[in-house]
Structure 1
Amino acid sequence: MTQELRLPWDDDPDDLYEHAPCGYLTTLPDGTIVKVNQTFLAWTGYTRGELVGHRRFRDLLSSGGQIYHETHYAPLLRMQDEVNELAFDVVCSDKTTLPTLVNSVLARGPAKEPRAIRTTVFNATDRRSYEQELLAARKRAEDSERRIQVLQQIVADLAAAPTEAEVAEAVVRAPEPAFGAASSSIYLVDADRDLIIAVASTDPTTGNWDDMPRSSKRAVARVAERGDLHVVGSVGEARQHFPDLVDNMRRSGRNTVVLLPLTTGPTDENTGTETLGVLAFSFTGERKLSDAELRVVRLLGQQAGQALDRARLYDDGRRREERAAFLAETTRCLDEMHRLNPRARRLIDRVVPEIADWAVLSLSIGNGIHEEAGGSPPDADLLAQAQHRATVASVPSFPPPGDPLGCVVLPLTARGRVLGTLSVRMAPDRRGAAAERAFLIDLADRAGLALENARLYEQERETARTLQRSLLAADLPKGDIRFAVDTHYQAAGLDLEVGGDWFDAFLINKDRLVVAVGDVVGRGIDAATTMGQLRSAIRALAGDAVGPARLLQGLDRFVERVETARMATVAYAEVDLNTGELTYACAGHLPPLLQAPLGLPEFLLQARSAPLGSRAGDTRRTEHRLRLPPGSRLLLYTDGLIERRTRPIDQGFEVLSREFARRRDAPLPGLTAGLADLLVGRDHADDVCLLCLSLGSEERIERSLGADRQQIALLRADLRAWLVAHGIEPECRDAVLLACSEAVANAIEHGYRDDPFGVIDVVATVTGDAVEVRVADKGTWRGASTDVARGRGLQLIRESMDQVLFDRSSGTTVIMRRSLEAQ
């Protein structure tokens, strides 16, 4: 007989409910538990009596779960009548938490009113562990990916960083994003100076942030020497291996420090590698680096080392190019200055601040030049000692570490002699000390040769100038009050050879004066000799009955025998000192410039002909006459004064005319030198020669003018020229002009107020000790006793003059006197 098969659904329903693989809860709409199965009670450790009728479902949840129940679970259940797979942590009877997933259904009555909530609870402990494992794995993967991305970015930054400083900046920023480091610092090895240099840090206040010898016992120096990675995981470990880290780790609270050598080869095999620096980074608290992280750390050290090696090669190449360019440019700049003092100044200007903080140049040649520039020079006694050592030994003095002077003293030598020293203090350089020595020695050699050449140039230039001056006229006439002569010669600033420009002035007889300016073609001794011959020939040919035209004809015959004088130019003029008559002629020379007492300057363009000995052009020699009023000035000059390659010659004539007019009232002494300084300067390419003749004036000036205020300006111009011709100083001259103008204005206003045709007479006289001016009118002054004595004009007259008198016997005469003693 076959036994009847018992199906699962034939089991006792109550048993199935009580021991189901999940928990069951039935609650009222307010959450009060009314039914619970044994499975849930077994999971949580509660008894049925503790829950049914006494606790709500939300009371069994954690704090966060209760908030979520209130803000999400209950509202969703009311809206949807069910919720699925909501995660809650259920608090068990022993206060532990049980991870669960909850499904709930809201049962409603016939009127749709809430009646009960049926909840299924699933144990999610295993699922939670699995999810946590998945999250941890994901985090490890994300951290690894992040480190790889950071490393890739670092590698890209290192590849794009051309200089050592930029590489160091990229490396010191790497540990924070790659490993979560709190701070990092980078040190570079300077093999030339046997130092380890602190370069950059994200937190300079931590650690022993300073340079150190490579032989130091500090952790960084020891890692640089060994070339292997060190991870210091605690203060105790630091005390055992690297004591210098202990204080910093305690003070900063950073208990893990990584010391990574930056090498040029593989980090797992130290053979053939070179340590270029050390990257030190630390973590807050203890931090254990995984094997994967350590592999990334080593890779960072290798990449950084290779980038540093490449950057140093680049820096060295760039530095050599910059130094070579600096030497070439310095040589060029020094060659532009021919004089010793300007060349020495230019050397200092080149050195500071481009390559040095300050520089001191001391020379024992020339005028004992001592130039200083930039910064604060060191103690004078120490500097003098170093300069003496360099001068005596003829070798550069490079400071050892810790030297209080801190500068390099370079002897400047040329042609086997020491000229002086160049002392410089340069900014510290981590690399290329040997290259810097070679550069400075090369600079000193070039500077010494340039300064010696400038000294020789000045010596030869002075010799040439002495020869030039000896050939110029030195016995110009003087002592005659009827005229005065001012001359100026300025040699070309960029040429050692003497030129052919010359001037001369002499008396044919006691009443006839000759002035001449000329220019011989070429330069050198031949031109200077020809200049002297030509000047002597003019003096020999000049005479009472000769005149400019016949004299130029005689010079034409002279140059037929003196070939070097051919094509020379001459401006020649004779002045009758009694009549003021000027007779002049120009043989190929620039026209003289005449400034009369009134009006604008005028170029004398008549009587022009070809240069001496010319075979082309107009060779007929003519002359022109005109009368020069007293106070006139005549300027003769050579082409170096106005000719420039950068402008038309007409513009040069305009500039000369304008500046000569501006100086119409200036004292004659120094007038030509002032014109040359303004129009030419000192560094010019051609000789400049000027001669200015000023004709004297009569002892008294007499003028009659109508009763018109416009006549006052003409009177002032005439009177000013007369006073200038008599050498009256500006203060006295201005006072006389003011007083005379006010007196004439009073005569017009009061004497001729009803007579526009009245005449005012003005007479001025210069005696040995004073200037006296008389202003007289024939008009009728109304209330003369009061008009003469009052008014602002009279006050100005009395303040300007030393003595003021009035004569009303025939009209009104104002007599004013200004003493010359104060001059």
Structure 2
Amino acid sequence: MDEKAIDYEAVFQSLPGMVALLTPELVYADANEDFQRLSGRTRDQLVGRYVFDVFPENPKNSAAAGMRNVQASIHRVVATGERDTMAPQRYDVEDPDRPGHWEERYWSLVNAPLLDPDGKVTLIVHRIEEITELIRARGRRDGPGMSSTQVLEAELYTRARELQELNERLRQAHAREREVALALQEAMLPAHRQVRSRRAAVRYRPAVGALNVCGDWYDVVELVGGNRIGVSVGDVVGHGLEAAGVMGQLRSALTATSRVADGPAQALDVLGRYAHVVDGAESATAVTTFIDCDARTITYSSAGHPPPALVHPDGRVEFLDRATDPPLDARPDPMPRPEAVTAYTGGATLVLYTDGLVERRHEDIDTGLARLADSLVRHRTDDPESLADAVLLELLPPGGATDDTALVIVRL
């Protein structure tokens, strides 16, 4: 059959089961005939409307969370670009013809992404399997007319529902851990500041998801002797409170070391030796730069971290990648780390960041670095605060990244 002759609109409308298309902003873009019929909504009542306006949570049921779980699932799909299958669960669905009248329904959902050529999620295929009768059948499984297969299916779906409720309780516990970890992380990271007369902007964006509190950190400190500042970022492998605690130890150690070290290489060398005795610091990365504001030079060293970007006033972007070494505590026998020096002119901008800004699954890091350079060039005349906001807006996925992101921008 000629592919051009296939009427895909007709195919979509004829798909068995409830299928809708949602935008990443949770707005209905289309819905097939089964979705309209089984949900009791016409196409005009769906398309162009926000899902919570069409299917609000039941205000009479404080435990109702079906639609909030749908929202969380779609956010995961947008953030990861991967399919998300939800456990069967209860939804209270309002009768559109009888406002305030709610019907108990049980649905099993799958949300799958539609990606554009750049890998960005443009639509979500939202498929619902109606299992209300199977769930209700468990209550009458000994009645007449119930086959053994129906009894088994009802039991399986009930067990899936119980598992979903257990997962929800675990999610709530993990959410509390996330709140504590974020509070700890915020307390240990330096506040927004200006160092001497230098204009600096700092940003930290936590990862999407209850467990994705990681160990990204940044620091901007005044150095002893001369008109100099030190700017650093780092990343601890792992999640949650443990990673946040390790992050605090490493950041504090590097801050103290930088104030007395001869240069960034020596500071990272000492930090690597310290990381050797800190549980959870294995494979942590860091990059630090010493900026001499009088000589207009940047001396830098990297321990397995993405290279800082130096944006020159003429629009040229220089990635500082000539002094890269393995991550902290990567060598059993420590060796002196390399460092390099580059010059800058007034009005240049130094940008340090963690890998959450540039790395994407199934994508070469050079693509992310090129994307960063393009954004920096286009916004290079913005003040640091506006530049930081523009970079995050353009480089982070709309629903948030799956890894933490730390960003430091200093106008030189």
Structure-1-length-normalised TM-score: 0.33
Q: Does 1:558 align with 2:284?
A: no
Where 2:259 maps in the other structure, the secondary structure is coil
Deviation at 1:595, TM superposition (A): 0.5
Q: Amino acid of the residue matched to residue 471 of structure 1? A: Q
Counterpart position of 1:687: 404
Q: Does 1:457 align with 2:141?
A: no
Pair 590,631 (structure 1): closer, same or farther in 2 beyond 3 Å: same
Deviation at 1:691, TM superposition (A): 1.5
Counterpart position of 1:547: 263
Counterpart position of 1:500: 215
Q: Amino acid of the residue matched to residue 692 of structure 1? A: I
Pair 477,494 (structure 1): closer, same or farther in 2 beyond 3 Å: closer
Q: Supply the distance in 2 between the matched residues of 1:574 and 1:639 (Cα, whole angstroms).
A: 21
Pair 482,437 (structure 1): closer, same or farther in 2 beyond 3 Å: same
The answer (yes or no) to whether the contact 1:515–1:572 under 8 Å persists in 2 is: yes
CA distances 1:558-601 after superposition (whole Å, capped 9, x unpaired): 12322432322111012233443322111111110111111321
Q: Supply the distance in 2 between the matched residues of 1:436 and 1:561 (Cα, whole angstroms).
A: 54
Counterpart position of 2:204: 489
CA distances 1:427-474 after superposition (whole Å, capped 9, x unpaired): xxxxxx9779759x9899978986895686366336414413422444
CA distances 1:722-768 after superposition (whole Å, capped 9, x unpaired): xxxxxxxxxxxxxxxxxxxxxxxxxxxxxxxxxxxxxxxxxxxxxxx
Where 2:39 maps in the other structure, the secondary structure is coil
Q: Amino acid of the residue matched to residue 284 of structure 2? A: A
The answer (yes or no) to whether the contact 1:609–1:621 under 8 Å persists in 2 is: yes
Pair 366,589 (structure 1): closer, same or farther in 2 beyond 3 Å: farther
Q: Amino acid of the residue matched to residue 57 of structure 2? A: S
Q: Amino acid of the residue matched to residue 468 of structure 1? A: L
Deviation at 1:622, TM superposition (A): 2.4
Deviation at 1:666, TM superposition (A): 2.5
The answer (yes or no) to whether the contact 1:494–1:684 under 8 Å persists in 2 is: no
The answer (yes or no) to whether the contact 1:495–1:685 under 8 Å persists in 2 is: no
Pair 477,683 (structure 1): closer, same or farther in 2 beyond 3 Å: closer
Pair 535,660 (structure 1): closer, same or farther in 2 beyond 3 Å: same
Alignment of 1:87-166 (within 5 A): none
Work out the number of aligned pairs and report it: 314
CA distances 1:757-783 after superposition (whole Å, capped 9, x unpaired): xxxxxxxxxxxxxxxxxxxxxxxxxxx
Counterpart position of 1:178: none
CA distances 1:793-816 after superposition (whole Å, capped 9, x unpaired): xxxxxxxxxxxxxxxxxxxxxxxx
Counterpart position of 1:69: none
Counterpart position of 1:377: 96
Q: Supply the distance in 2 between the matched residues of 1:483 and 1:466 (Cα, whole angstroms).
A: 33
Pair 662,530 (structure 1): closer, same or farther in 2 beyond 3 Å: same
Q: Choose 491-500 or 525-534, whichever is displaced more.
A: 491-500
Q: Supply the distance in 1 between the matched residues of 2:64 and 2:198 (Cα, whole angstroms).
A: 41
Where 1:518 maps in the other structure, the secondary structure is strand
Where 2:220 maps in the other structure, the secondary structure is strand
Counterpart position of 1:270: none
The structure with the largest alpha-carbon Rg is 1
Counterpart position of 1:525: 241
Q: Supply the distance in 1 between the matched residues of 2:37 and 2:407 (Cα, whole angstroms).
A: 43
Counterpart position of 2:290: 574
Where 2:218 maps in the other structure, the secondary structure is strand
Q: Amino acid of the residue matched to residue 630 of structure 1? A: G
Q: Supply the distance in 1 between the matched residues of 2:344 and 2:360 (Cα, whole angstroms).
A: 31
Alignment of 1:242-261 (within 5 A): none
1:356 to 39, 48, 59: 39
Deviation at 1:496, TM superposition (A): 0.9
Deviation at 1:379, TM superposition (A): 4.9
Q: Supply the distance in 1 between the matched residues of 2:37 and 2:161 (Cα, whole angstroms).
A: 16
CA distances 1:69-103 after superposition (whole Å, capped 9, x unpaired): xxxxxxxxxxxxxxxxxxxxxxxxxxxxxxxxxxx
Q: Amino acid of the residue matched to residue 409 of structure 2? A: C
Q: Supply the distance in 2 between the matched residues of 1:542 and 1:511 (Cα, whole angstroms).
A: 14
Query: Over aligned residues, Cα RMSD in angstroms?
Result: 4.5
Structure 1: gaps spanning 5 or more residues: 1-321, 388-407, 413-432, 696-823
Q: Supply the distance in 2 between the matched residues of 1:486 and 1:498 (Cα, whole angstroms).
A: 22
Q: Supply the distance in 2 between the matched residues of 1:527 and 1:506 (Cα, whole angstroms).
A: 23
The answer (yes or no) to whether the contact 1:574–1:584 under 8 Å persists in 2 is: yes
The answer (yes or no) to whether the contact 1:587–1:610 under 8 Å persists in 2 is: yes
The answer (yes or no) to whether the contact 2:325–2:337 under 8 Å persists in 1 is: yes
Pair 375,466 (structure 1): closer, same or farther in 2 beyond 3 Å: closer
Where 1:353 maps in the other structure, the secondary structure is helix
Pair 536,438 (structure 1): closer, same or farther in 2 beyond 3 Å: same
Q: Supply the distance in 2 between the matched residues of 1:526 and 1:618 (Cα, whole angstroms).
A: 25
Q: Supply the distance in 2 between the matched residues of 1:583 and 1:664 (Cα, whole angstroms).
A: 22
CA distances 1:257-284 after superposition (whole Å, capped 9, x unpaired): xxxxxxxxxxxxxxxxxxxxxxxxxxxx
Q: Supply the distance in 2 between the matched residues of 1:606 and 1:521 (Cα, whole angstroms).
A: 24
The answer (yes or no) to whether the contact 2:246–2:280 under 8 Å persists in 1 is: yes
Alignment of 1:364-763 (within 5 A): 364=62, 377-380=96-99, 383=100, 386-387=101-102, 408-410=103-105, 457=171, 460-461=174-175, 463-472=177-186, 473-476=188-191, 478-479=193-194, 482-494=197-209, 496-509=211-224, 511-544=227-260, 546-615=262-331, 619-681=335-397, 682-695=399-412
Q: Amino acid of the residue matched to residue 344 of structure 2? A: L
> RCO (CA 8 Å, sep 6+): is it higher in 1 or 2?
2
Q: Supply the distance in 1 between the matched residues of 2:249 and 2:283 (Cα, whole angstroms).
A: 14
The answer (yes or no) to whether the contact 2:106–2:135 under 8 Å persists in 1 is: no
The answer (yes or no) to whether the contact 2:202–2:408 under 8 Å persists in 1 is: yes
The answer (yes or no) to whether the contact 1:642–1:656 under 8 Å persists in 2 is: yes
CA distances 1:227-269 after superposition (whole Å, capped 9, x unpaired): xxxxxxxxxxxxxxxxxxxxxxxxxxxxxxxxxxxxxxxxxxx
Where 2:223 maps in the other structure, the secondary structure is strand
Counterpart position of 2:3: none
The answer (yes or no) to whether the contact 1:465–1:491 under 8 Å persists in 2 is: no
Q: Supply the distance in 2 between the matched residues of 1:356 and 1:618 (Cα, whole angstroms).
A: 65
Counterpart position of 1:223: none
Counterpart position of 2:126: none
CA distances 1:477-503 after superposition (whole Å, capped 9, x unpaired): 634572122222223324514212211
Alignment of 1:28-67 (within 5 A): none
Q: Supply the distance in 1 between the matched residues of 2:329 and 2:134 (Cα, whole angstroms).
A: 64
Pair 578,444 (structure 1): closer, same or farther in 2 beyond 3 Å: farther
The answer (yes or no) to whether the contact 2:243–2:280 under 8 Å persists in 1 is: yes
Q: Amino acid of the residue matched to residue 370 of structure 2? A: E
Pair 601,445 (structure 1): closer, same or farther in 2 beyond 3 Å: same
Structure-2-length-normalised TM-score: 0.62
Deviation at 1:664, TM superposition (A): 0.8
Pair 575,648 (structure 1): closer, same or farther in 2 beyond 3 Å: same
